[in-house]
Amino acid sequence: MAEPLTVPTSLTAQIERLLPSARLGRLGRLRRGLEKEGLRVDKAGHIAQTPHPAGLGSKLTHPHITTDYSESLLEYITPVYTEPREALAFLSDLHTFTYQHLDDEWIWPGSMPSRLSGNDSVPIADYGTSNVGTMKHVYRKGLDVRYGRIMQAIAGVHYNVSLPEDMWHALRELEKATNIPFNDYRSTRYFGMIRHFRRHSWLLLYLFGASPAIDKSFLPEGKVPEKLAPLGDDTYFAEYATTLRMSDLGYQNKVQEQLKICFNSLSNYVNTLRHAISSPWPDYEKLGVNVDGEWRQLNANILQIENEYYSDIRPKRVAKHNETPSQALEARGVEYIEVRCLDLNPFDALGVTEDQMRFVDVFLLWCLLSDSPWISDEECDRLDDNRRLVVERGRDPALTLTRDGEAISLPAWGEQIFAEMGEVARLLDAVEENAPHQAALDALAPRLQNPELTPSGQLLARLKEGSGSLSDTLLALAKEQKQALDSSRMLRSREALLDQLIETSHQQQRDIEAADTEPFSDFIDHYFTKAREMRSFSSITSEELE
């Protein structure tokens, strides 16, 4: 007989003390924005070789439509909203607008890439002739020589969330911490949230992972990992995998593992990243930096820039024009959190749903309000063990995870977390109609006991019922989603804005290029000299380079 589920009294006490203010609307609402990537593919499901459409504007300066690593990898960026459906509506219009400028191409709905033809079939994004544009391009060339381009063709959703200031002030008063400077208090609490997130992010990977299979073109010729089995003529899969995107086939870097960033404090985080962008790595030195006038990478350090560090969650602060991300954090503290472990939902044209956004909101606030002790060196070494198990075997009925040194099944632990999150949903729903946060928990809870309801389970079932071809299946979904988007009507004011941004962004790029007089090598030297300084300034932000 299962033990009854209990909620920690410390969590319940905080909720009860915050609820009166929440019901009076005094805590404000969470703020969130979306960044969503998606490959452009041709009518046969191959990665597009065409340039980023000029009709979408300049990818260097457009605030909402750009590219990530590849010329073919679209990236959409929404404004910040307090209502999830408003962010989704903006994202939908970005998709619809894009399709007005694509010729026989589709937006790939999966996280793992479409059909590839080797490393060089992934074109590196070109951002023009300015120093900023050249730096973005050379950074991507560095990622190529270090990790290869194919890994960089993987797509996902980044979810950016911040708590309203009124809620921070309420928490600070409840904890009798008003003697602590506001930015210091907020940063400390955000890092506590991150630690709890990292201990429990396996739940998000299980619930939302949607990449249990890959096209065979993703793998080097003749090199198939033992964990994968063939499915059809062009697909490999792992029977119980949730998200191969987050496995050692995806965004992984052995060199970065030695950084040991465990998010115990802002100073530790910033100093570790500063060390990484200043410390040469022998293997990268062998690749060369500027060889006979050809830039191969920005430098030979562990990280070229801070954003090269891969993590499933990041503390963020909007950087000023003359700051790096770490300098902004160091100067003014953490402003918001970026969740980076979400696969694209291949069954939704936008790659993410409102229920998912509401769930992540509850999950993050649960992480904030729960006890989150510092991560010891010993725990740091095994912090990702549960995550790795869920990535590769999350839907395995025999899977057990480790909690406080003891084995526990995924459903049992998940149900305990859901019970605690239910208390947090009460807080968020105090200012909502129809309790949408609790509704999101109720909609997703059945996935704990029935793995086939997860996106990874649904996708694998569709593959097995059909031809077994991942690329054919996702291409068919892409075409269906385009038809649905074609029938949707854009908000007129938003369409006018996007039309205006086409020429505005191109003109901004021309202005930047015309104003450049400094040689690129000098520009790079100045940038990294300033980037290594504490609370100092640089000519551009690393955020602009990603």
What is the β-pairing status of strands 157-162 and 294-295?
Answer: unpaired
With a cut of 70, say whether residue 3 has pLDDT above it. no
- Alpha carbons 484 and 507: distance in angstroms, whole number: 33
Q: Give the mean pLDDT of 163-192.
A: 95
Three-class HEC string of 176-243 = CCCCCCHHHHHHHHHHHHHHHHHHHCHHHHHHHCCECEEEHHHCCCCCCCCCCEEECCCEEECCCCCE
- Over residues 292-301, the pLDDT tens digits come to 999 999 999 9
Share of the chain above pLDDT 90, in %: 84
Q: Give the mean pLDDT of 131-158.
A: 97
- Over residues 375-429, the pLDDT tens digits come to 988 888 888 899 999 999 999 999 999 999 999 999 999 999 999 999 999 999 9
With a cut of 60, say whether residue 535 has pLDDT above it. no
With a cut of 90, say whether residue 320 has pLDDT above it. no
Structure tokens at 271: 């100093």
Return the sign of the alpha-carbon dihedral for residues 464, 470, 471, 473: positive
- Over residues 330-379, the pLDDT tens digits come to 999 999 999 999 999 999 999 999 999 999 999 999 999 999 999 988 88
Confidence of residue 222 (pLDDT cuts 50, 70, 90): confident
Confidence of residue 542 (pLDDT cuts 50, 70, 90): very low
Q: Return the pLDDT at 538.
A: 33
With a cut of 70, say whether residue 2 has pLDDT above it. no
Helix axes 9-23, 410-428, angle to 10 degrees: 30
- Residues 234/286, Cβ–Cβ less than 8 Å: no
With a cut of 80, say whether residue 510 has pLDDT above it. yes
Cβ–Cβ contacts within 10 Å for residue 343, how many?
Answer: 30
Cβ density class 232-261: b for 16+ within 10 Å, e for less: bebbbbbebbbbbbbbebbbebeebeebeb
- Over residues 111-139, the pLDDT tens digits come to 999 999 999 999 999 999 999 999 999 99
- Alpha carbons 154 and 478: distance in angstroms, whole number: 16
Q: How far is CA 131 from CA 70, 76, 514, 542, in A?
A: 19, 23, 11, 13
Q: Report phi then psi at 340, rounded to 5.
A: -125, 15
Average pLDDT value for the chain: 93
**What are the contacts of 288-297 at 24+ separation with CB within 8 A?**
290/521, 295/134, 295/138, 295/141, 295/520, 296/138, 296/141, 296/142, 296/145, 297/138, 297/139, 297/141, 297/142, 297/145, 297/146
Q: Give the mean pLDDT of 219-238.
A: 92
Q: Give the mean pLDDT of 482-486.
A: 94
Using DSSP's 3-state secondary structure scheme, residue 73 falls into strand
Amino acid letter, 177: A
With a cut of 70, say whether residue 4 has pLDDT above it. no
Q: Give the mean pLDDT of 75-102.
A: 97
Q: Report phi then psi at 54, rounded to 5.
A: -60, -30
